[in-house]
Amino acid sequence: MADEFELDTDDLTRRMEGAIAALRTEFASLRTGRASGTMLEPIHVEAYGQMTPINQLGTVNVPEPRMVTINVWDRGMVSKVEKAIRESGLGINPQTNGTIIMLPIPELNEQRRRELTKVAAQYAEHARVAVRNLRRDGMDQIKKARANGLSEDDAKFWEGEVQELTDRYVRNVDQTLEHKQAEIMQV
């Protein structure tokens, strides 16, 4: 039975990819001074008796580098969408023109850019912790297999595989963070 042990590295890889994908989603919500439709994804509006993402209440467009527009489909929802954006903490003041809500993206000052790089670093640290937790899960599987008769050499091999996978994904987190910080600091 112990000779048949094979760690599911595909599962670990998939879960580590999930940590990276979650990090990229969090990074997309950080405002960098350029307009992006993804910056509205975390905002939900009380609509039709439930919390609804903005992109399900209207069409989100980026017509200019510093402008996001939302063409709200239901005229009755315009004020609710506008209120949700004001209260979201994005620091954007929506302007309404009929059913179209315009979001002019203001230029970021130096202090705000530094704050955003710190927030990005915190997001990256959470992703590193998630990857390390997955490493621990893999190592625990190996430890259980060793208790069931897995040879020392096989255990060392699988531990090396898990560590190599972990190192690769931690480097990926670091590279993603560097890229995002450079994007934030770009004037």
pLDDT tens readout for residues 43-86: 889 988 899 999 899 999 999 888 899 999 999 999 999 999 88
**Nearest alpha carbon to residue 54 among 67, 73, 26:** 73
pLDDT tens readout for residues 83-105: 998 887 777 889 999 999 999 88
User: In 61-150, which residue ranges form alpha helices assigned H by DSSP?
Assistant: 78-86, 110-147
User: Are the beta carbons of 43 and 54 closer than 8 angstroms?
Assistant: yes
Average pLDDT, the chain: 88
Cβ atoms within 10 Å of 139's Cβ, excluding its own: 17
| Domains detected in the chain | 2-27+109-185 (1.10.132.20), 34-104 (3.30.1360.40)
